[in-house]
Chains A and B, each alone.
Chain A
């Protein structure tokens, strides 16, 4: 009895510890990689001593002054809001249309060529059109984001829905699930892994497209700021802007993964094994 007791106790705890250590380990390694890149940047810029290549420390200092200065509310916050709104709209519209297109085969066949056509339009080409439609400003940027970021969500949701297991749907029907309860309790959760995969791509697309739209036709925003800095030869400012953009992307993605990990906890077991980020 005692022997099994002492054997069992560490066996129960060890995976958690191991996991924690692995998490912490990979996190530290990631940090190490970043530090290495920063160091390379710093040394390279010091060695070259070029006016168009500021040091890492100068860029960071400049970024800090941006975050604590007036540029925060003038450019950074609007960009974050536009990205958030554009991403959210893309997500909601992409999921709704994707579900409908995935569920109804006729609709899928009707729209597939149309969607392929729109999907392959290069986003920068749309900016002038949207400037005419919405003017120079936030609405235009949001519209451009939606036209680009909706596709990964829509296509993933549609594929996931079309590929739903008939046995699973039959099981739901036998339980008396139909209409909204079928959608909410079975279809959405079943497709959620694909939806989340699409949403994650949509985040990076949203950020990238936000910058492009602001460069081409913005009157404010981080893209506008970077573009202005470059044209005014304020090189350190432009590097600082790019640095801030990277941090923004990392923040969005981390926040997203946090939500995903909570909502898709059930999936860890079915996939088998702990997925590392």
Chain B
């Protein structure tokens, strides 16, 4: 593997400098980084011994209070990237640092909500017990009140004794969010948390996440297919190329907060930003359509 220069596309990344920083804390996110992924490469080997280079070279910095989204074509290694960033998988190359320390395993400060809610809640536990799983590292006497508070925050007061199958998909995903937030993490990671709910519920869940994040002190890293959702929620949007993935573009959003579904999505700026992100996503998709699946493209980009 030749030592590649910093991602070629990175140079033409349009960072609107005046919007790049979140207005309320006024800190440049790069200097106050809670999570940093540096030149990460992931090669996965399937059970029958076939190796695939899923991630070629991805770097990202997540500021302490930042909300960053990652979009990219299906199969571009977004989930793989998230797993590595959470300390669940060892990087093949590169490194992940959490609060300045190299990340070798899962840590209490990072919570993850996975793609399929039906797999991420434990179906044999009540909603309360599920949320309490996220609070295992807290002192025993705090747990019950924290679980209750977390359930209240996602609008599930009174559902603690119900079982996941008794709840709708949207409610289950809110419970998964409560479990992730109950430990008051430094970083909340979400892998397409709203992929399997209807559009109306989706909008509602986006606002639940936005509110949770605003009320907390954590940074958020969201993987999504939905360009509008990425722009609506984020401070920055990273677009990944097709597999093996690189960062194709990085778009600063800078829409004022608090945002609302009705108003924010109507603004011309929102439309502009969404179009910009969509352009890159389509570019990534085209590249993957041309290249033969599994084989690395001759030239990146």
Contacts of B111 in A (CB 8 A): 174
A269/B136 in contact, CB under 8 A: no
- State whether the Cβ of B75 lies closer than 8 Å to any Cβ in chain A: no
B124/A174 in contact, CB under 8 A: no
Residue of A nearest to B182 (CB): A175
B122/A168 in contact, CB under 8 A: yes
- State whether the Cβ of A170 lies closer than 8 Å to any Cβ in chain B: yes
For chains A and B in complex, what number of residue pairs have CB atoms within 8 angstroms? 65
Nearest-neighbour CB distance to chain B for A194, whole angstroms, equals 14
Contacts of B99 in A (CB 8 A): none
B83/A269 in contact, CB under 8 A: no
A167/B119 in contact, CB under 8 A: yes
- State whether the Cβ of B223 lies closer than 8 Å to any Cβ in chain A: no
- State whether the Cβ of A171 lies closer than 8 Å to any Cβ in chain B: yes
B110/A269 in contact, CB under 8 A: no
Segment 110-158 of B: residues with Cβ below 8 Å from A: 110-112, 114-116, 118-120, 122-125, 133-134, 136-137
Q: Known contacts being A170-B88, A170-B112, A173-B88, is A270 close to B106, with CB within 8 Å?
A: no
Nearest-neighbour CB distance to chain A for B74, whole angstroms, equals 16
Indicate which residue in B106, B115, B166 contacts A269 across the interface (CB closer than 8 Å).
Answer: B166
Indicate which residue in A167, A185, A186 contacts B116 across the interface (CB closer than 8 Å).
Answer: A167
Contacts of B122 in A (CB 8 A): 168, 171, 185-186, 189-190
Indicate which residue in B118, B119, B136, B166 contacts A177 across the interface (CB closer than 8 Å).
Answer: B136
Contacts of B134 in A (CB 8 A): 175
Indicate which residue in A168, A171, A174, A269 contacts B164 across the interface (CB closer than 8 Å).
Answer: A269
Contact with B along A249-277 (1 / 0, CB 8 A): 00000000000000000111110000000
Please report A residues at the B interface, Cβ cutoff 8 Å.
165, 167-168, 170-177, 185-186, 189-190, 192, 266-270
- State whether the Cβ of B163 lies closer than 8 Å to any Cβ in chain A: yes
Contacts of B123 in A (CB 8 A): 266-267, 269-270
Contacts of A192 in B (CB 8 A): 124
- State whether the Cβ of B108 lies closer than 8 Å to any Cβ in chain A: yes
Please report B residues at the A interface, Cβ cutoff 8 Å.
83, 86, 88, 106, 108, 110-112, 114-116, 118-120, 122-125, 133-134, 136-137, 163-166, 179
Contacts of B125 in A (CB 8 A): 185, 189, 266
Q: Known contacts being A177-B133, A186-B122, A189-B122, is A171 close to B114, with CB within 8 Å?
A: yes
Nearest-neighbour CB distance to chain B for A7, whole angstroms, equals 22
Report how far A269 CA is from B115 CA in the complex, Å: 20
A270/B88 in contact, CB under 8 A: no
Report how far A171 CA is from B86 CA in the complex, Å: 11
Report how far A267 CA is from B125 CA in the complex, Å: 11
Nearest-neighbour CB distance to chain B for A176, whole angstroms, equals 5
B119/A173 in contact, CB under 8 A: no
Q: Known contacts being A167-B116, A269-B164, is A174 close to B86, with CB within 8 Å?
A: yes
Ordered by A's residue number, 29 sampled pairs between the chains whose C-beta atoms are within 8 Å are: A167-B116, A168-B122, A170-B112, A170-B114, A171-B112, A171-B119, A171-B120, A172-B133, A173-B88, A174-B88, A174-B106, A174-B110, A175-B134, A175-B179, A176-B106, A185-B122, A186-B122, A189-B122, A189-B124, A190-B122, A192-B124, A266-B163, A266-B165, A269-B163, A269-B165, A269-B166, A270-B118, A270-B123, A270-B165
A165/B119 in contact, CB under 8 A: yes
Contacts of A173 in B (CB 8 A): 88, 106
Given A171-B112, A266-B165, 18 other A-B residues pairs in contact with their CB atoms under 8 A:
A167-B114, A168-B119, A170-B83, A173-B106, A174-B86, A174-B111, A174-B112, A185-B122, A185-B125, A189-B125, A266-B123, A267-B123, A267-B124, A268-B165, A269-B165, A270-B123, A270-B164, A270-B165
